[in-house]
């Protein structure tokens, strides 16, 4: 995380030197997705859609 903070600071300094606005801060933690898992065969995946068999 420290590396990303230093990198973002350097990028913002460079942008200010070029007359641009600094970038907006972003969440660095990726969001976790909730996934459905088949109870009969978890390795097969989970089909969704109108034309599923």
Domain around 8: 2-44
Is 12 domain-assigned? yes
Residue 16, pLDDT score? 96
Q: Does some domain include residue 24?
A: yes
In a domain, 10, yes or no: yes
CB 46 within 8 A of CB 36: yes
Please give the pLDDT value at position 27.
72
Total tally of structural domains belonging to the chain = 1
Asked if the structure places residue 16 within a domain, the reply is yes
Task: State the pTM of this model.
Answer: 0.48
**Residue 37 pLDDT:** 83
Determine the pLDDT at residue 52: 65
CA distances (Å), 3 to each of 8, 22, 37, in order?
9, 18, 36
User: Counting beta carbons within 10 angstroms of the beta carbon of residue 12, is it exposed (0 to 12), middle (13 to 18) or buried (19 or more)?
Assistant: middle
| pLDDT tens readout for residues 1-53 | 789 889 999 999 999 999 999 988 877 667 788 888 888 888 887 777 777 66
Helices and strands (H and E) in the chain: how many: 1, 0
């Amino acid at each position: 995380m420290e590396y990303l903070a230093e990198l973002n600071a350097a990028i913002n300094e460079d942008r200010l030197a070029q007359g641009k606005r600094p970038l907006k801060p972003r969440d660095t933690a990726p969001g976790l997705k909730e996934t459905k898992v088949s109870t009969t065969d978890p390795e097969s995946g989970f089909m969704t859609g109108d034309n599923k068999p």
